[in-house]
């Protein structure tokens, strides 16, 4: 039965085209084993001829599931974040879910707004890298039946499943490696000191410096845009006379690379450098940048796994998954 090209084909049109009941067409759409293969083939052929596309949202509303999960991150340009998103999307796709992605820009008010927008889209669950880990600023606006997993940051006083890495241990190992080269004025450079990851990395750095009976040299700023060449001149060289720097996230690493270049400082020759976070081309710049590598895709997959376990009925205590980060040595640290 032909239908006008201007109209969107419905399941009723498919049933008429295939010569079956609407109930049979619906069963084929939902992969029910109750339909004989011969009849199912007719329905699928009718769908193909008519260009029928199932309305996933409508089906989800009927089943009280949307087959979509939300993900909110603070910075989509960060390679760590991008790879975490990729890992979560791959895991979600394998489970038949779509991912609706949003960015908070590190702003708690925008984060709440994005959460409410995603809830309005009937998401089944949410994976979020909180913009501010000091306080629970958003779980109160999330319905009880929407499961949430915290990624990268542990949210204080919130009962959530979470995925993080060995921030403290890995920062200590990175600092110890620099000290092993005979470097003594190692400066840790970080931003947004209120974040859980930053606190943990600073704690690891401090532990290494104290164990070596050396002065702690921590330069922490509220936002990465403060890290200008002038800032490096005043704080890293004039104040601390640093012989090494440990940058505590990717954005700080980029600021340091730009700042040192503009100041005419040569990495490894004038000052050693090690970065907490890897990125494309880190091994190709000269000298190659020594880094702490976070298993970003694995983090995304682990977040998805925790979420889908909840969606599939897992109850009980909340789980905290901690994945190991790895020190990758190149030449910038003095090796």
60, part of any domain: no
Residues 91 and 232 grouped into a single domain: no
Which residue in the block uniquely carries the two structure tokens 């002038």? 230
Task: Report the alpha-carbon distance of residue 215 to residue 213 in Å, rounded.
Answer: 7
pLDDT at site 8: 73
CB-based contacts of 131-135 (< 8 A; 24+ apart in sequence): 131/74, 131/104, 131/105, 131/106, 131/107, 132/108, 132/194, 132/195, 133/194, 133/195, 133/196, 133/197, 134/194
Q: Kindly report which listed range (157-161, 213-217, 218-222, 273-277) carries the lowest average pLDDT score.
A: 157-161
Phi, psi of 90, deg, nearest 5: -65, -45
Average pLDDT along the chain: 89
pLDDT at site 275: 97
pLDDT at site 61: 47
Residue 274 has pLDDT above 90, yes or no: yes
Say which residue, 285 or 141, is predicted with more confidence.
285
pLDDT tens-digit series, residues 297-307: 999 999 999 99
Residues 223 and 284 grouped into a single domain: yes
CATH number of the domain to which 251 belongs = 3.40.50.2300
* Contacts of 255 by beta carbon, 8 Å cutoff, 6+ apart: 224, 227, 228, 247
Burial 172-189 (b: 16+ CB within 10 A, else e): bbbbbbbbeeebeebbbb
pLDDT at site 15: 87
Average pLDDT over residues 144-166: 90
Residues 136 and 90 grouped into a single domain: yes
Task: Say how many domains are in the chain.
Answer: 3
pLDDT at site 302: 97
Residues 158 and 175 grouped into a single domain: no
Phi, psi of 244, deg, nearest 5: -160, 150
pLDDT at site 55: 59
pLDDT at site 1: 43
85, part of any domain: yes
- CA-CA-CA-CA torsion sign (313, 314, 318, 324): negative
Residues 200 and 219 grouped into a single domain: yes
Domain of residue 191: give its range: 167-294
Task: Report the alpha-carbon distance of residue 297 to residue 308 in Å, rounded.
Answer: 17
What is the chain's length? 335
Q: pLDDT exceeding 70 applies to what percent of the chain?
A: 94
pLDDT at site 62: 46
pLDDT tens-digit series, residues 235-247: 999 999 999 999 9
Residue 66 has pLDDT above 70, yes or no: no
Q: Kindly report which listed range (52-56, 82-86, 238-242, 306-310) carries the lowest average pLDDT score.
A: 52-56
pLDDT at site 5: 43
Task: Report the alpha-carbon distance of residue 149 to residue 256 in Å, rounded.
Answer: 32
Helical ranges in 184-278 per DSSP H? 196-211, 229-231, 250-262
CATH number of the domain to which 47 belongs = 1.10.260.40
Tokens for 69, please give them: 């999960």
Residues 131 and 141 grouped into a single domain: yes
pLDDT tens-digit series, residues 188-228: 999 999 999 999 999 999 999 999 999 999 999 998 899 99
pLDDT at site 273: 98
Q: Which helix (H) or strand (E) holds 73?
A: strand 68-73
Which residue in the block uniquely carries the two structure tokens 């532990």? 207
């Amino acid at each position: 039965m032909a239908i006008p090209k201007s109209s969107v084909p419905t399941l009723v049109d498919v049933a008429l085209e295939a010569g079956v009941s609407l109930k049979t067409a619906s069963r084929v759409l939902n992969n029910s084993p109750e339909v004989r293969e011969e009849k199912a083939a007719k329905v699928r052929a009718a769908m193909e001829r008519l260009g029928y596309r199932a309305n996933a949202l409508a089906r989800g509303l009927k089943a009280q599931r949307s087959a979509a999960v939300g993900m909110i991150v603070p910075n989509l340009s960060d390679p760590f974040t991008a790879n975490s998103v990729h890992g979560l999307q791959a895991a979600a796709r394998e489970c038949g879910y779509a991912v609706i992605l949003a960015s908070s820009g590190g702003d708690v008010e925008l984060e709440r707004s994005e959460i409410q927008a995603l809830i309005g889209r009937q998401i089944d669950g949410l994976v979020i890298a909180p913009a501010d880990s000091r306080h629970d600023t958003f779980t109160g606006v999330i319905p009880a039946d929407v499961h949430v997993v915290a990624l990268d940051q542990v949210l204080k006083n919130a009962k959530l499943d979470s995925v993080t890495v060995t921030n403290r241990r890995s920062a200590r190992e990175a600092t110890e490696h620099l000290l092993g080269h005979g470097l003594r004025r190692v400066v840790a450079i970080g931003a947004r000191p209120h974040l859980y990851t930053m606190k943990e990395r600073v704690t690891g750095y401090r532990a290494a410096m104290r164990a070596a009976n050396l002065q702690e040299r921590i330069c922490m700023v509220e936002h990465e845009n403060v890290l200008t060449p002038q800032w490096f001149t005043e704080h890293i060289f004039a104040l601390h006379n640093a012989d090494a720097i440990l940058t505590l996230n990717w954005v700080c690493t980029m600021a340091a690379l730009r700042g040192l270049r503009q100041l005419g400082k040569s990495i490894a020759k004038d000052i050693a450098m090690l970065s907490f976070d890897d990125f494309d081309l880190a091994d190709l710049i000269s000298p190659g940048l020594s880094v702490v590598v976070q298993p970003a895709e694995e983090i995304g997959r682990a977040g998805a796994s925790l979420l889908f376990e909840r969606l599939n009925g897992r109850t009980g205590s909340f789980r905290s998954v901690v994945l190991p980060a790895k020190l990758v040595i190149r030449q910038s640290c003095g090796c």
